[in-house]
Chains A and B, each alone.
Chain A
Amino acid sequence: MTEEIIIAGFGGQGVLSMGKILAYSGVMQDMEVSWMPSYGPEMRGGTANVTVILSSERISSPIINQYDTAIILNQQSMDKFESMVKPGGTLLYDPNGITRHPERKDINIYKVEASMEASNMGLTKIFNMIVLGSFIKIKPIVQIENVIKGLKKSLPERYHHMIPDNEDAIRKGMEVSVPVQLLS
C-alpha cells in the first residue's frame, strides 16, 4: 500500500504542520513515510505545499508529480495540482475562496467547508485539523488514535493543552466532508 498525497494552500494555513501530523500518524502505524515541503519565501502569505507519502514499503522517490490524493486549499493550488491527480484518485478541497471549482471527470471529488466550520467553532487556527479529519474519513489509511499520537509527537509540549481542541476539530472534519463527484 502506498498513498501519495499533496497538500497545498496559502502559507500560514497550517499546510506543512498538517502534513507533519499525517506523517507522524504513519510512523505510529509502523509505515514508511516521507514529508517533502516546498520551502522558501512562501512562509507567510504565498503558496505552500507539502508532499506526504505513506507506504508499507520502502519509499523510492519523495519527489513526484502524480498524486493519489490532492488536498487543495486555495485557487492557485487548484490551478496547479488538479491536473496532477492520478486518474481514479481523489481531490479534497475547501470551497472558501475558490472561484473555479474542479472540472476533472475521472477522479473522486470531495469538499469540506473547513474555514466556515473552524470559525463556527470559534477556533480558526484548527482549520487544518478539520481538513485532516475529512481526509482520514475519506481515506482511512491512518487510525484516529494514531493521528492523536502523531499530534502529541509533532507539537511542542507547550502547546499540548491545545490537543483536545485539535482532536475535536479532527472529529468534526470526519463528519462534514461532502462528496461532489464519486466514480462508480
Chain B
Amino acid sequence: MKKLASKSLVLLLVISFLMGASLMVMAQEVPEAIAGKDLKMALVKEWGTGTHMMMHINGSKAEAEKYGIDLSVIDANNDLLEMTNGIENAISNEMDAILISHGKADALYASVEKALKAGIPVIVFDNDFDVPREIHQGKLVSIDQYDLMMGLISQMSLVEEMDGEANVVYNRVANVPPTDKRHRIWEGAILPTYTGIEVVATIDQGTDNPMGDAQTALETILTTSDEGEIDAVYAVWDEYAKGFYNAIVDSGKEIPLYSVDISNQDLAMMQDHPEIWRSSAAVNPAIVGEVQIRLALKALAGEDIPRYYSLDPVLVHVDDLPSKEEKRVTMDDLSDIYDGWGSSNAFVEDWMHTLEESVK
C-alpha cells in the first residue's frame, strides 16, 4: 500500500512536472497565427509634430522593431481626409493591424469599420469608435492616457496648493475627446466639491495655434484684470500651458500654473520658473505607442484584448524635480523620479520575449 502510494506520488510528480514544462514551452512559443510571419502595421496619426507626438511615434517604432514588425507611420498633418486615406491604404495594402492616434470619430468611422470587417485589428489612441461587437469581433481597443484621472490629479494639485480658495483662469478645448474628459472632472467633480474655486475666465482657442493663441488670450486677461484678481491658471493641455507660461512670465506676475501632459520643453520651462509652472499630470507617450503595438500583436495572435484600456498617469510636480542648477531634467529622467513612468508591463506576454529573441 505504502509502495503504491509512493509510486503514485512519484508518478503524480512526474506528470505535473511534464505538464508544467509543457505549459512553459507552450507559453514561450510564438502563437501559430503570427509565428514566422512578416508583420506589417500602419500608424495613422492626425498630426505628428511636437515633442509629445514624436515620443509616441518613437515609442511605437521601437516596440515594433523589437518584434520585427514593419511599421509605417502616416502623419495626416491635421487633415482628416488624409487620415481616412491612410486607413484605406492600409486596408488595401493588407496591413496586419492599424494603429490610430487622435482624429475625429465621425470622419474616420466608415474606414475603421471597413478595416474591422476585413478582420484587421484597430488599436486607437485618444479616440473611440462606436462599432458594434458583431463587427469588431473583439479586435478594437480604445486606449487613453486615463484622461479622467489626469484631469482629477492635476486639478486636485491646484485645489491643494490653493487651499481650496482661488480665482482661476480656466482653459478648455471643446470637442476634442481627451480634453473633454478632463473637463468633465472639473465641471462635475471639482467645482461642485470645492466651492471656493471660482472661474474668472475660460479660454478656448481651439487646436489650430494653441501655444500662440493661448499666450495672446492670457495676456489680454492679465492686462485687463485687476491686480491680484487671478490666483491660478489651469491648462487642460500642455500646448496651452506653454503659451500661458510665456504670458505669465512676460507679465512679471507670479501666478501658479497647473496643467496636463508633459514634454521635454515643458520640463525646461518648469525648471526655469518653478514658482509658476507647478505641476502637470501625464503619461509617458512612448508607453502608449508600446502598448498599442503589443495589443495589436495579441489580437493577431488570437488572444483576448480589452475594449478599453487606460494607462496610469503620474503627477509631475516641480518640487520633485532637481533644481535647474543641479540638473536639467528630460522625460527620460522622470523614470528615476516616478515609478511606472519609464515602462509598463501591460500586455507583455512570455511569447513576446521569444518573438523578440527570434528577430534579433
- Chains A and B are bound partners: no
